[in-house]
């Protein structure tokens, strides 16, 4: 089996008000998957440019990077092509500066703001839960 190292980038888009911290999640209704916005770079694109572009496309929000939060890493297989992917995803803390979640692309059925607590219970992948927990811990100082 061939091992292929790949990477992607995305964001933890947040807002904070009297109700607390809210996080953007992207969902697929039929499969029940809820994830952070992220995606693969196009040729020659930097990690930060990939993160911003993917978040804008998948959420409809214009965003600004505040800081890097960290990375998650996982492996998955494409058995038909006999490739084992070793993937690293770089995540950045982002704030919305415009746009609307009504303008998200069609990769996801739903994009919504969730309270920090609801986001943690709704999210599909434990490694994304941990990166959100890290981001919120940093926000709370």
For the chain, the structural domain boundaries read 2-140
Q: Are 105 and 24 in contact (CB under 8 A)?
A: no
pLDDT in tens, 22-81: 999 999 999 999 999 999 999 999 999 999 999 999 999 999 999 999 999 999 899 898
* Residue 19: pLDDT over 90: no
Q: Are 58 and 12 in contact (CB under 8 A)?
A: no
Task: Report helix, strand or coil for 92.
Answer: strand
Written out in words, the top-level CATH class of the domain with range 2-140 is alpha beta
Q: Is the pTM of this model over 0.85?
A: yes
The residue-averaged pLDDT of 94-102 equals 97
Q: Are 18 and 141 in contact (CB under 8 A)?
A: no
């Amino acid at each position: 089996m061939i091992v292929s190292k790949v990477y992607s980038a995305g964001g933890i888009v947040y807002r904070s008000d009297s109700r607390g911290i809210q996080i953007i999640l992207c969902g697929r209704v039929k499969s029940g998957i809820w994830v952070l916005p992220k995606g693969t770079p196009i040729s020659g694109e930097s990690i930060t440019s990939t993160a911003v572009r993917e978040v804008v496309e998948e959420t409809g929000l214009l965003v600004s990077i505040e800081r890097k939060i960290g990375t998650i890493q996982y492996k998955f297989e494409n058995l038909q092509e006999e490739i084992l992917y070793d993937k690293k995803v770089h995540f950045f803390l982002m704030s919305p500066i415009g746009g609307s979640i009504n303008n998200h692309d069609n990769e996801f059925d739903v994009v919504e703001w969730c309270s920090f607590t609801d986001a943690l219970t709704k999210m599909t992948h434990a490694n994304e839960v941990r990166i959100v927990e890290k981001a919120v811990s940093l926000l709370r100082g």
